[in-house]
Every structure is written in structure tokens, then in C-alpha cells.
Amino acid sequence: MDSNEREREDEPATAPSRAPGIAGLSLPYRVLAALALAVLAVGACLHLGLVFLHVAPSNTLSKRHAGLVDGWVYPEFEQNWKLFAPNPLQQNIAVEARAQVRDGAGILVTTDWRDLSAEDAAAIRHSPLPSHTRQNELRRAWDFFTGSHDENDKATDAERGELSEAYLKRIAGARLGAGLPEGDRIVRVQLRSATRSVAAPAWSDEKTDTQTYYRELPWWTV
């Protein structure tokens, strides 16, 4: 046996290569991965189907399953067309909130107004991957509330009105409650909107009232 043959015999045997992806897993894990993918696919199809029924013109199917569609879409997935002509948004609407907090000594303190919309804008500014929650949660919650209440803050639809109030209350309570000293608790929250029309461009003769107008909601017990 020459030296070359001895070297080949001393070399360790190479391990068999594994197939890439799911095929490289053992059978139980392949079954588990396939089930997980199937559940995700079914969930995605159901979500897209319900959103489609929500935005599609009224039809027999959407009327028959209106409760299921509304229960899934509102408030997180509601769709609208306000970006497009002929009536694009021409106002800046900021949502502000404050709270009444009972501290550890039992004293009730009312906080200053916090501009929650400005905080959301600051969180996504210059971000290459802005948070969908920061972009849309508060804005859509306020649209949901105003769409289900009249100018006197009375619900025009009992079920949607109650849901929109609970949604706004939950958002305000979570954001105002974050960072409170230990022992302090929020008792009530209040929200308001600050609406200001976008000024007309310099080359236009249009006169725009850019004064800020407030819509203040009543105190809500948490």
C-alpha cells in the first residue's frame, strides 16, 4: 500500500448532505411544519375574504354574514378611501389625552394634555420600517369613534358606538399608564381632537381658516 492510499484511508468519511428546507427535517417535524403552514394559509385566506366582503359592494353574502364581517374588520382592519379624489383629507387632526391619576397617598391628580398623535409621528419619522400600529392605530380609532357618533358625542349605532369608546379608552389608558410611578393608578381618561385645516399653497388665492378647533370628549372611567 503506497502513501497515497494510506492518506485516503485516514481521511474521515464525509457526512451525507441534508436536503434544504422542510425536506431536511425528520418526518414528525415535517408534519408539524406542514400543519403550521396550512393553518397560516387558511387564516390568511379567511382574513382576505372577510376584508374583501367588507370593501366590496353590498351583496347577498356580505349581508348574510354582516355580523361576522364587522366583528372581524372593526376596528383594527377597517378600510377607507379618504386618500383619493375627489375628497382627500385637507385637515391635520391630532388626538390628545389626559388622565386623572390617584397616587399612592390617595390624592387625585389631573395630568396635562398629551399629544398622542405627535408622539406617533415622532416614532415613525425617518424610520425605514415604520410601525403599522404607530401609523394607524390611534388615527383609525378616532375615525371609528367619529364615524359612529354625532357632533354631540352620542352614538348613532349602539354596538359600534360602545366598541369605539372601549377601543379609544383602552388606547389612552395603556399609553398614559405607561411609566406611572408604582402605586399610582388611572381613574379616568379624557380625549380631545385638535383640528387645523391645511393652509392653501402660496400661489393660490384661496383663503383658509387655519385656527385650531378642539372637540373634547367627556371623562371616561377606566
Nearest to 185 by CA among 111, 80, 117: 111
Higher per-residue pLDDT: 149 or 10: 149
Higher per-residue pLDDT: 1 or 58: 58
Q: How far apart are CA 188 and CA 173, in angstroms?
A: 8
Same domain, residue pair 98 and 202: yes
CB neighbours of 117 closer than 8 A, spacing ≥ 6?
93, 94, 95, 96, 138, 139
Calculate the alpha carbon distances from 192 to 27, 69, 116, 153 in Å.
57, 29, 10, 11
The answer, as to whether pTM is greater than 0.85, is no
**Is 48 part of a structural domain of the chain?**
yes
Same domain, residue pair 212 and 183: yes
The dihedrals phi and psi of 130, each to the nearest 5 degrees, come to: -70, 150
**Is 207 part of a structural domain of the chain?**
yes
Which pLDDT score, from 0 to 100, does residue 82 have? 61
Same domain, residue pair 160 and 52: no
Q: Domain count of the chain?
A: 2
**Is 63 part of a structural domain of the chain?**
yes
Same domain, residue pair 38 and 113: no
**Is 6 part of a structural domain of the chain?**
no
**Is 82 part of a structural domain of the chain?**
no
Same domain, residue pair 162 and 192: yes
Q: How far apart are CA 180 and CA 48, in angstroms?
A: 39
Q: How far apart are CA 114 and CA 179, in angstroms?
A: 14
3-42: pLDDT as tens digits: 555 555 555 555 556 666 677 778 888 888 889 999 999 9
Same domain, residue pair 122 and 180: yes
Same domain, residue pair 152 and 212: yes
Evaluate whether 72 touches 50 at the Cβ level (below 8 Å).
Answer: yes
**Is 58 part of a structural domain of the chain?**
yes
Q: Helix 158-177 to helix 116-124 angle, to the nearest 10 degrees?
A: 70
Q: How far apart are CA 184 and CA 164, in angstroms?
A: 26
Same domain, residue pair 116 and 173: yes
Same domain, residue pair 96 and 166: yes
CB neighbours of 150 closer than 8 A, spacing ≥ 6?
156
Evaluate whether 209 touches 197 at the Cβ level (below 8 Å).
Answer: yes
Domain that includes residue 25, residue range: 20-73
**Is 80 part of a structural domain of the chain?**
no
Which pLDDT score, from 0 to 100, does residue 76 have? 74
Same domain, residue pair 209 and 112: yes
Q: Report residue 2's pLDDT band, with 50, 70 and 90 as the boundaries.
A: low
Higher per-residue pLDDT: 140 or 77: 140
Same domain, residue pair 152 and 215: yes
Same domain, residue pair 108 and 180: yes
